[in-house]
Amino acid sequence: MKIRISGLIIVTFFLAAVCFTAVQAAELPLIRIGIVRDGPWARHIGTVDIVKHEITSIIDGQFDARFVTGRDLDGDWTVDGIRETLARALANPDIDMVIALGHVASHLACRLERIQKPVIAALVIDAKIQRLPLREGTTGVENLNYINRFKSVDRDIISFRNIIKFRNLAILADRYIFQAIPELEKEARKLAHEYTINVNVVPVETSAEEALANLPPKTDAVIIGPLFRLTPAAFQKLVDGFSQRRIPSFSFWGRGEVELGILATMTPAATMDHLARGVAVNILEILDEQKAGDLPVAFTMEEQLTINMATARATGVYPSLSILTEADLLNEEAKDIARVLTIEKATKEAIAANLDLAAADREVTAGQEAVNQSRSSLLPQLDVGITAGIIDDDRARASGGAAPERSSTGTATATQLIYSENAWANYTTEKHLQNSRVLGRETLKLDIIQSTATAYLNVLRAKAIENIQKENLKLTRANLQRARVRLNVGAAGPDEVYRWESQIATDRRAVLDAESLTLDVMNSLNRFLHRPLQEPFTAKNVDSDFLFKGEKWQFSELVDNTRNLNALKVFLIKEGISLSPELMQLEAQVFARERRAKEARREFWVPTVSLSGNVDELLSEGGNGQRGDAFVPWDDTDWRVGVMATFPLFTGGRKTATVRRTLEELTQIRTQYEATQERIEQRILIAVNRVRASAPGVRLSRDAAETARRNLKLVTDSYTRGIKSIIDLLDAQNLVLVANQQAANANYGFLADMISVQRSVGEFIFILSPEQKQTWVQKVEDHMKRSGIEPNSW
């Protein structure tokens, strides 16, 4: 029974709420609004819904708006049809107010001689060219109001010419527009004469192919007027046709068409939203019993140059730097750049191609040959030679056949060291020095990886700062527009506009500086990779977890408290000392010096022993003193074999000085080893301490940037309402700029500090294989467990 009563209560309340809402709606005054279009739109079909939404939002709770649309209010794309549709809407007793939502409908509405009910012409092309009625800021015509956006065909052409200097311009617009507004074609001829260019008007209906075919052969630029009859597919075909012919294009309608591939426009994306809001505000004024003819027609809207850089590249257009810093750039980063880098790929490429490392490779290779060279003295030596000579005849006769007057002799000599302390010391020392050279190359390799990774992060940092400067420039442009609105309504003087214009110049310079810095750091990275310095590339962003982490932790968490930090320092110092190629290199040099010291001491008592032999073969003889002239005949072959031991008995103190020198050098290297070990330990501690500061700094700087953005939003709203001054807004904007820059610097500074930690330890974890990374992570976890710290407590 209780359940039934509860259900009855709920139903009762629901019916009461419905009835109350119905009664409330019935009490609102009804306003019936007819929307007249030039014809059924094939594109931008959501525009009518935008207008309806703005009107409904503004009059909500005051009036009940009903909209009359449909085939009867579409003018069928002819001047006569649009004129008849306007007349039909004005005569319709079921329509209280008319919105002309078409360029020709707006033009014809402003030319009506008698207007029975309020009419708002929403889509005016250029009020000045169309010679629309204007009297002290209003139409002065009963029941007529139009929205004058102060859009100028003249300014659009000037803006287009600032991007590219064309000679033959084609203006494409729907055929019926030129028929209804002949002033547009006259203005085009006037501008052609003024700017010394050729202007051709190309009427368009529903075919993109026909429009492209009607372009004059020498056309080098086109301006696209309203083309509502082209379907989206046909319009895209038209845009693609311009790109294929490398013809730069400019949109009168706005940014949406630039996003589809048109080169540029001066009309921002939110123009239709603002326009619809202006229509809605004027309707509310009329409903509040203001006369339409007395309402202001001025509706200042922002103009923003937008350039599609992908289209610019496709058509071979290269705007000046001043234009690029002024414009909102779409597709600024080229999507067709084949060279895409990640930080891992960049470091591996540097290892393979860096010139400094290549030079170190040659040094190592040459050092190996030095080892072979020192070993050669321990192996058998064989020399061969030939001697030809002539002596005086009396000496030849006196020699008894030992020295013929003319002779030629072949000689072969072989030697083999049995033992030489110096030769063995040279060989052993050179092997240690070669190991030192290899380890020196490893040290250089680590430095190059760090330099390359840091250069890569600098590219990302510079690009982030560049984007921040560009966003700040956009913000300054928006504030300039706000200042102009304040000036128009009398809430500010022209000095505010001048101040924002000055700020734009400053911000544009900052953008240029940031772009130059980005180019500099990209050139620097290319040098590390031994690439052409200006070769373009795309650098993928780096995640803060890209270095190394466990399944449930990341490195920055290990430095978040003193206990973890102290345990981690012990582990990293131990790893750094065991992995350091600098220490290994010094160890190799210690071994080399120890061998030299041993040689110097042994030189006091160890002789050099060698085995040698030679063979002489008489090849020819002649004249006096031949072997046959002697009493005892000699054969033509002479040989000798012997063992020789040498010992330097007295060297003037050289051996004693050598011992002392080598011992001092050995002590110096050992001392240097200890000093290097201390430096490595200090380097690790410094790197970890930096991460200790920079890791939380990333979060703190992001929080500061978010707070600054919220503050800017509040100050901007207050500035728009006249509560805050321009100084307040400038301060708030500058605070956001600085906070965003600090956030970017903190993020990439933290990543650079993480790179420094790995360099100080002597191993870059982020370029290891997954198995090697896991081994490293496991070593960290094992050490932390041995220190009494479980991973789940990190």
Cβ pair 581, 446 in contact under 8 A: yes
> Which pLDDT does position 190 carry in this prediction?
85
The residues pairing with 412 across neighbouring beta strands, listed in sequence order, are 384, 615
> Which pLDDT does position 221 carry in this prediction?
94
- Strands 406-419 and 608-622, by their bridges, are antiparallel
Q: Which CATH architecture has domain 538-586+656-793?
A: Up-down Bundle (1.20)
Cβ pair 308, 327 in contact under 8 A: no
The residue among 685, 438, 446 whose CA lies nearest residue 574 is 685
Q: Span 153-266+305-330: which CATH code?
A: 3.40.50.2300
For 143, phi then psi, to 5°, come to 65, 15
> Which pLDDT does position 6 carry in this prediction?
45
> Which pLDDT does position 46 carry in this prediction?
84
Cβ pair 35, 65 in contact under 8 A: no
Alpha-carbon distance of 472 to 504, in angstroms, equals 9
Q: Which CATH architecture has domain 25-151+270-300?
A: 3-Layer(aba) Sandwich (3.40)
Contacts of 791 (CB under 8 A, 6+ apart): 550, 552, 553, 781, 784, 785
> Which pLDDT does position 3 carry in this prediction?
40
* DSSP structure class, residue 100: E
> Which pLDDT does position 492 carry in this prediction?
80
462: its two tokens: 């510079």
Sign of CA dihedral 763, 765, 770, 773: positive
For 648, phi then psi, to 5°, come to -70, 105
Mean pLDDT by 10 residues, the chain (794 residues): 44 48 62 92 86 89 87 88 92 92 92 90 88 88 86 82 91 88 84 85 91 92 91 94 94 90 88 85 89 84 85 89 84 80 90 86 87 86 89 77 81 87 84 86 90 94 93 88 76 86 91 92 92 89 65 65 83 88 87 83 84 86 69 74 84 82 87 90 90 86 94 89 88 94 92 89 85 84 81 58
Cβ pair 762, 579 in contact under 8 A: yes
Give the predicted TM-score (pTM) of the model.
0.74
Per domain, the residue ranges of the chain are 25-151+270-300, 153-266+305-330, 350-375+440-481+491-528, 379-419+608-646, 538-586+656-793
Query: What is the three-class DSSP state of 196?
Result: coil
Q: Do the two domains 153-266+305-330 and 538-586+656-793 of this chain adopt the same fold? A: no
> Which pLDDT does position 793 carry in this prediction?
57
